[in-house]
């Protein structure tokens, strides 16, 4: 993570280098009760350790942004902030809020849909639906004309995706993956979907809501406030999934709680697609709070149950996710995206999409499409990729990336097909790797046995 001085007044001096790369380990301590806030809600508490030294000084930083160009909030935990600086910070937070409230956007939308097609304009620079009285202010901007009802029902295609990988990397499901998720949700009998950071899935559900035989409802929780222009307060909540912050306050939180607890909490599932650069610890904390919100329903028997969930994330985060959610398992299904060059289905070898679905549903319940190259393993009792061959020694379909993995007798596990056993490292690795048996420890955490690129602290 990268950061810097305070955003409102007065830099934090030697705090500048805490986020940048260097020896030591950055540890998330969580959300403190009295945490200061930036425009993205309450800040998270961190500490950075140095190699072989005790823990360093604790500090607060923005929960949502990893790049200080996007939000450079910083404050030492033990720092005494002056009244002047607090006032400047509050003013900064206030002026960095959206120009309209959610309720105002809903009223604007009602006026917009009553306009004839020739008067419906969308400003591409401001990313805003325009009413005729506002045209003059945007006269030197690029805008789209004749906005149709179909476009209004597909805002993710009307809006520019937010593609800053360090902040909110907004990659949108391809039609194939979106339809698979909707079919899965329907086939398993769910009737409500809490869509956390999945705007395209939400809009597909919303667009079908008028069909008589379609019973599924969706509530979108997303940090992208632009969606408030298209959805009512019962359909969208402005939400930061890194600190469980509802920007709409208690009213928005209650909207989410009611949605989860309707029908005694039955037949509801949460689907989330977080930015892949996000801290798993912070995400897990927020997801557990959403789960707890669901558990608070009056229905008996929820005590030992978890809110059904689909968490979409790259397969190489499997160990981190299972650390926080031991009941989860990873499905072989490859999720692909419209606006990402690499995350595409159907490519071979290492170029296949690394994005998978982690879920607390039983894998045997999830049917993967045979026509896309998935098959059912009768031993594992789950659908797997066609290249994922069952290993008799491991007694499992072991491949994570879609290729056929091979079993190493010395490592006592299956490894990638391009890896070979290195007697010096006493483990499998790429043939031309640099052996890790060296006196120097990892550059990130100082510990021996791994390189910087594979340091567990990096995630």
What DSSP line would sit under 392-450, residue for residue? Answer: TTTTEE--SSSSPPEEETTTTEEE-TTEEEETTTTEEEETTPPP--SSS--TTT--SSS
Q: How confident is the model at residue 15 (pLDDT cuts 50, 70, 90)?
A: very low
Question: Three-state SS for 458?
Answer: helix
What is the arithmetic mean of pLDDT over 17-22? Answer: 46
pLDDT tens-digit series, residues 164-222: 444 445 568 888 899 999 999 999 999 999 999 999 999 999 998 878 788 899 999 99
pTM, to two decimals? 0.85
pLDDT tens-digit series, residues 144-171: 999 999 999 999 889 987 654 444 455 6
What is the arithmetic mean of pLDDT over 393-405? Answer: 87
Instruction: Give the residue with greater pLDDT, 313 vs 341.
Output: 313
Q: What per-residue confidence (pLDDT) applies to 457?
A: 59
Q: What per-residue confidence (pLDDT) applies to 363?
A: 94
What is the arithmetic mean of pLDDT over 97-103? Answer: 94
Q: How far apart are alpha carbons 407 and 10 in whole angstroms?
A: 57
Q: Which CATH number fits domain 175-296+304-386: 3.30.70, 3.40.50, 1.20.120, 1.10.357?
A: 3.40.50
Structure tokens given for 315: 């397969």
Q: Which residue has the tokens 């869509």?
A: 195
Q: How confident is the model at residue 22 (pLDDT cuts 50, 70, 90)?
A: very low
Instruction: Give the residue with greater pLDDT, 342 vs 368.
Output: 368
Instruction: Give the residue with greater pLDDT, 22 vs 235.
Output: 235
Q: How far apart are alpha carbons 92 and 99 in whole angstroms?
A: 14
Would you kindly state where each structural domain of the chain is located, as residue ranges? 24-96, 102-147, 175-296+304-386
pLDDT, the chain, mean: 84
Q: How far apart are alpha carbons 97 and 115 in whole angstroms?
A: 28
Q: Which of 42-51, 310-319, 383-392, 417-426 has the highest mean pLDDT?
A: 310-319
Structure tokens given for 381: 């009792």
pLDDT tens-digit series, residues 36-63: 999 999 999 998 877 656 578 899 999 9
Q: How confident is the model at residue 9 (pLDDT cuts 50, 70, 90)?
A: very low
Q: Is 273's pLDDT higher than 90? A: yes
Q: What per-residue confidence (pLDDT) applies to 408?
A: 92
At residue 125's C-alpha, the angle toward residues 122 and 129, to 5°, is 25
* All residues at 6 or more sequence positions from 236 whose CB lies less than 8 Å from its CB, including other chains: 102, 219, 220, 221, 222, 227, 228, 230
What angle in degrees, to the nearest 10, is found between the helix axes of 249-261 and 280-295? 60
What is the arithmetic mean of pLDDT over 249-260? Answer: 96
Instruction: Write the DSSP string, 217-259.
Output: EEEEEES-GGGGGTS-TTTEEEEETTTTEETTHHHHHHHHHHH
Q: Is 453's pLDDT higher than 70? A: no
Look at 42-46, 145-149, 239-243, 451-455 and tell me which has the smallest mean pLDDT.
451-455
Q: What per-residue confidence (pLDDT) applies to 347?
A: 47
Q: How far apart are alpha carbons 394 and 16 in whole angstroms?
A: 48
Q: What per-residue confidence (pLDDT) applies to 41?
A: 95
pLDDT tens-digit series, residues 319-344: 999 999 999 999 999 998 875 445 44
Q: What per-residue confidence (pLDDT) applies to 437?
A: 52
The rounded percent of the chain whose pLDDT value lies above 70 is: 81
Residue 89 class from Cβ within 10 Å (0-12 exposed, 13-18 middle, 19+ buried)?
Answer: buried
Q: Where are the alpha helices (DSSP H) in 114-218?
A: 149-152, 155-158, 175-187, 199-208
């Amino acid at each position: 993570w990268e950061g810097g001085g305070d955003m409102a007044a007065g830099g934090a001096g030697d705090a500048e280098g805490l986020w940048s790369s260097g020896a030591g380990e950055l540890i998330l301590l969580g959300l403190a009760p009295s945490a200061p806030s930036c425009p993205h809600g309450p800040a998270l508490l961190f500490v950075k350790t140095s190699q072989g030294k005790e823990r360093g000084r604790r500090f607060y930083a923005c929960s949502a942004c990893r790049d200080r160009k996007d939000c450079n909030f910083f404050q030492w935990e033990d720092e005494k902030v002056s009244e002047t600086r607090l006032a400047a910070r509050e003013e900064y937070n206030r002026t960095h809020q959206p120009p309209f409230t959610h309720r105002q956007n809903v009223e604007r939308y009602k006026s917009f849909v009553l306009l004839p097609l020739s008067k419906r304009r969308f400003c591409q620079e401001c990313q805003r639906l325009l009413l005729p009285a506002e045209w003059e202010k945007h006269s030197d901007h690029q805008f789209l004309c004749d906005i149709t009802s179909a476009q209004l029902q597909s805002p993710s295609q009307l809006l520019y995706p937010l593609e800053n990988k360090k902040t909110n990397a907004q990659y949108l499901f391809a039609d194939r993956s979106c339809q698979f998720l909707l079919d899965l949700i329907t086939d398993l009998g769910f009737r409500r979907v809490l869509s956390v950071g999945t705007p395209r899935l939400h809009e597909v559900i919303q667009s079908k809501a008028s069909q008589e035989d379609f019973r599924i409802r969706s509530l979108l929780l997303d940090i992208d406030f632009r969606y408030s222009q298209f959805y009512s307060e019962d359909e969208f909540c402005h939400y930061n999934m890194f600190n469980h912050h509802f920007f709409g306050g208690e009213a928005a939180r209650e909207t989410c709680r009611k949605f989860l607890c309707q029908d005694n909490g039955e037949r509801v599932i949460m689907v989330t697609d977080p930015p892949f650069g996000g801290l798993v610890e912070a995400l897990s904390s927020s997801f557990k709070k959403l789960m707890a919100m669901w558990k608070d329903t009056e229905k008996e028997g929820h005590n030992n149950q978890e809110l059904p969930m689909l968490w979409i994330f790259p397969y190489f985060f499997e160990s981190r996710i299972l650390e926080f959610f031991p009941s989860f398992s990873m499905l072989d299904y490859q999720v692909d995206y419209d606006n990402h060059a690499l995350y595409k289905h159907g490519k071979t070898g290492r170029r296949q999409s690394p994005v998978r679905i982690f879920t607390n549903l039983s894998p045997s319940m999830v049917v993967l499409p045979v026509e896309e190259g998935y098959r059912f393993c009768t031993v594992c009792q789950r659908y797997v990729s066609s290249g994922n061959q069952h290993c008799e020694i491991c007694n499992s379909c072991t491949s994570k990336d879609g290729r056929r993995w091979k079993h190493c007798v010395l490592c006592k596990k299956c490894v990638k097909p391009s890896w070979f056993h290195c007697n010096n490292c006493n483990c499998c690795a790429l043939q031309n790797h640099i052996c890790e048996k060296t006196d120097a420890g990892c550059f990130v955490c100082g510990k021996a046995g791994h390189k910087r690129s594979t340091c567990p602290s990096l995630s």
